[in-house]
Structure 1
Amino acid sequence: MTIKQFGPTKLDAALIPVIARQWGTPIYLHDQEYIENSCEQLLNMPNAFGLHVRYAMKANSDRTVLRVVTGKGLDLDCSSLDEAARAHAAGIPFSRMMLTTQEVPGGDERAELEAMIKAGLKYNVCSMLQFNLIADFAKANRIDLSMRVHPGAAGGGESATRDTGSEYSCFGVHLNDVPKVKAMADEKGLRFTQVHVHIGSGGDPEKWRQNIDRELGFVKTYFPDATTVSFGGGLKVARMPGEKQADIASLGAYAKQRIEEFKAETGRELQMEIEPGTFVVANSGHIITRIIDKKLTNELNFLIVDGGMELLTRPLLYGSEHPVSIVRQDGTLLSSEYDQAPAQGLKSFGIVGRCCESGDSVRLDNDGNIVPVLIAEPEIGDYVVIGGTGAYSESMSPENYNSHRKPGAVMKTKSGELVQIRKKQVREQLTQNELDVTL
């Protein structure tokens, strides 16, 4: 199945001024059709004895996005108790969620967690302490558990900050501690019916294959009750020209082969689970910004736009690159970095935001210096549109830095209609939780 691309590969420039005039800039733009096509591609991934796909909602937790994704048949992986509560407020039942978190809830949050589990939420044990605290409750309520295992080997993230399986990562029960936790579970008559490993985001597909082999090995050794094996997410997405996207058909075929071999060796059929986030939504999104100033110096030409690191922190945090398009105020596409059109007559500009930070730029080198982008020279009032921003942009942005307000978001529906899905913050919301204290 070939996914129909929307995002960096195909920008409808005529929509940009329409959106800007109606809702202002900066603003996030998403595409329903792209998201649904991504979901369908994942659901058609080759598998041996069944496939369960969860969406890692930390990638984009907007309620409309969650409803689109779950409407296509994906369930959710939640990284916090608040994410689970947020998804439930969007109308999604707890029975369609798994909680994989570093948190150790106590007090009222502990009571909330127990209520969620009783309502069907799958609890993914990520530490020995988490197990000890949940064990008696799980036994009393006859609840089967999942375990996230730290594989004790090199991870597979695209960068050190996205590597969740290396010796510098603390996620999951370390493989050395699995026998201890398993022995405690056996004493209480508890079962781990699912095993989960996530080694990182956007890394080498070969590492993903190695993780399959490694995980099936310790499932065979330590988890006789497991019926589901989750290989995590982290499927590479091509945001920029020249980047190679993960071949999920090939990865699925490899997982299928290894799970079939597992059955031949053990007689056990395992359902495969994956939990992508980026793959589902990254290239469904754009950030639309307006050029508010130009500065020409002896060293570098600058475009100042009305949204930067407070909307998209990935360049500063990860050194990530996102494709840039320049759109005139009348909707004419001047240049598109993604498809490299036009190739001539371009000029170098450092594209920066409004924050009082030297790293507030759409492109930075490994030392944090601004990297100029080759574009057709625009005028003040034209638009800089940043692609590949559907994942880990608005959900991870350092909103309200410099007291900038979080922008709104718009979705292009399958019918082509533009629908506002989140309002821009109003200024009063910046201070609504602050207290007037007399000192």
Structure 2
Amino acid sequence: MTQNHFGPTRLDAALVPLIAQKWGTPVYLHDRAFIEQSCDQLLNMPNAFGLHVRYAMKANSDRTVLRVVTGKGLDLDCSSVDEAARAHSAGIPYDRMMLTTQEVPLGQEREELEGMIRNGLKYNVCSLTQYRLIADFAKQAGIDLSIRVHPGASGGGESQTRDTGSEYSCFGVHLNDIPTVVEMARDKGLRFTQVHVHIGSGGDPEKWRENIDRELGFVRSYFPDAGTVSFGGGLKVARMPGEKQADINELGTYAAARLKEFKEQTGRALRMEIEPGTFVVANSGYIITRVMDKKLTNEMNFLLVDGGMELLSRPLLYGSEHPISIVGQDGTLRSSEYDSYSVGTATPYGIVGRCCESGDSVRLDNEGTIVPVQVAEAEIGDYVVIGGTGAYSESMSPENYNSHRKAPAVMKMKDAELVLIRKRQVREQLVQNELDVDL
């Protein structure tokens, strides 16, 4: 067996030492072909009266990834003014972005936001305070608004920390406040032409379907000017064997049927919008680490690798699991957890990083205790490859903890060429913003 299989994408194990020798470890690796195939799958999702797909750039905001995604025809959902500015610096126009943020920009940042909106940025109102601050500008500029509604309903994900629709989250304008916002907008002559709900990431597909029905109900009741309805993202991907991936065709077919019923009942043909992030990039990515050391206690054998929670915080934050493979220094695949493949007898190892934290491991239980992973016997210098890391890895990890430098990123292009898309951080960058103060 010469290939390493993670979910729906495959990686030639022989590439691992080549990448490590050229750019060092730890290093992120992305697969362009997989990203583009994911975009195509989403763009072909069944729909009734048109489909608009935005990529939630918080999943991975690297400029090369953004250019690949937007080059395939997806627009962007941004979670901060800085994200919008970052995407624009990558050459993406503001009229291909929507801003859905918890921020309440003031001062210079507010001026920057208004400039973005004048250049086509769609502003998604997420609170009463945001509405009050944007209303006069929107009236003066003659722009229509979007609104994110807090539905007060759970997304059914496996982690409460990724549930953005329940009463224990604060995202969007709560349904209780919608009549107030609608009346205020009507008095000022403003229109909400798009309504948006996102109930969380990795949730139950049944909850996603319920969200469609719920959202169409309050679109009918409160938003007569809405021409677009966004059902959010959160489409589940299967990183690990046995996990069930969201069925895009089934979900699209359900949404299309509900939108057709809505038109029959109201005469209004609504365009559907979705905003996936994880679905686009999660299984396109890997982290390549090197075994630095091996240790033994009375309870567990450990493989110490040169990259952990500072590259991937999802196991510590969410209890998430990622498939682990062992690749020899000669590029042979020793074991693949996803394929249940192993050369020889698999051995249980706690796989831990180099951070001074007991939770710096690729596999933790609900109590935060390290869980051993069954892998082939590995030696110092071999490689531990972590799959399913294209989303919410480099974009949200606590880089520079213990003063570790941010790892580089490489992309495998469609012609199999390997291209460096982000350099390794140099030590001087750790302190470049610190000031020498007279003491």
TM-score for the superposition, normalised by structure 1: 0.98
Mapped to 2, the partners of 1:340 and 1:9 lie a distance apart of 16
1:31 paired to 2:44? no
Equivalent position of 1:234 in the other structure: 234
Mapped to 2, the partners of 1:235 and 1:182 lie a distance apart of 30
1:146 is aligned with what amino acid?
S
Equivalent position of 2:274 in the other structure: 274
Aligned structure 1 segments of 4 or more residues deviating by more than 4 angstroms: 5-9
Equivalent position of 1:369 in the other structure: 369
Displacement of 1:343 after TM fit?
7.8
Within 5 Å, which residues of 2 pair with 1:1-400? 9-342=9-342, 345-400=345-400
Mapped to 2, the partners of 1:370 and 1:88 lie a distance apart of 41
Displacement of 1:12 after TM fit?
0.9
User: Identity of aligned pairs, percent?
Assistant: 80
1:283 is aligned with what amino acid?
N
- Contact 2:400/2:430 (8 A) holds in 1: yes
Equivalent position of 2:415 in the other structure: 415
Aligned partner of residue 411 in structure 2, secondary structure? strand
Mapped to 1, the partners of 2:123 and 2:396 lie a distance apart of 24
Mapped to 1, the partners of 2:345 and 2:220 lie a distance apart of 60
- Contact 1:7/1:285 (8 A) holds in 2: no
- Contact 1:138/1:144 (8 A) holds in 2: yes
Mapped to 1, the partners of 2:377 and 2:320 lie a distance apart of 23
Displacement of 1:156 after TM fit?
3.3
Displacement of 1:47 after TM fit?
0.2
Mapped to 2, the partners of 1:7 and 1:24 lie a distance apart of 25
- Contact 1:157/1:199 (8 A) holds in 2: no
Displacement of 1:192 after TM fit?
0.1
TM-score for the superposition, normalised by structure 2: 0.98
Q: Deviations over 1:169-218 (max 9, x none)?
A: 00000000000000000000000000000000001000000000000000
Equivalent position of 1:426 in the other structure: 426
Aligned partner of residue 207 in structure 1, secondary structure? helix
Mapped to 2, the partners of 1:342 and 1:436 lie a distance apart of 53
What is the total number of aligned residue pairs between the two structures? 435
Aligned partner of residue 10 in structure 1, secondary structure? strand
Displacement of 1:8 after TM fit?
6.7
Mapped to 1, the partners of 2:210 and 2:381 lie a distance apart of 50
- Contact 1:156/1:164 (8 A) holds in 2: no
- Contact 1:31/1:411 (8 A) holds in 2: yes
Mapped to 2, the partners of 1:72 and 1:326 lie a distance apart of 33
- Contact 1:185/1:191 (8 A) holds in 2: yes
Q: Deviations over 1:303-331 (max 9, x none)?
A: 00000000000000000000000000000
Displacement of 1:298 after TM fit?
1.7
1:373–1:163 Cα change, 3 Å:
same
1:28 is aligned with what amino acid?
Y
Displacement of 1:438 after TM fit?
1.3
Equivalent position of 1:406 in the other structure: 406
Aligned partner of residue 342 in structure 2, secondary structure? coil
Displacement of 1:7 after TM fit?
5.9
Displacement of 1:152 after TM fit?
1.8
Which runs of 5 or more structure 2 residues have no equivalent in the other structure?
none
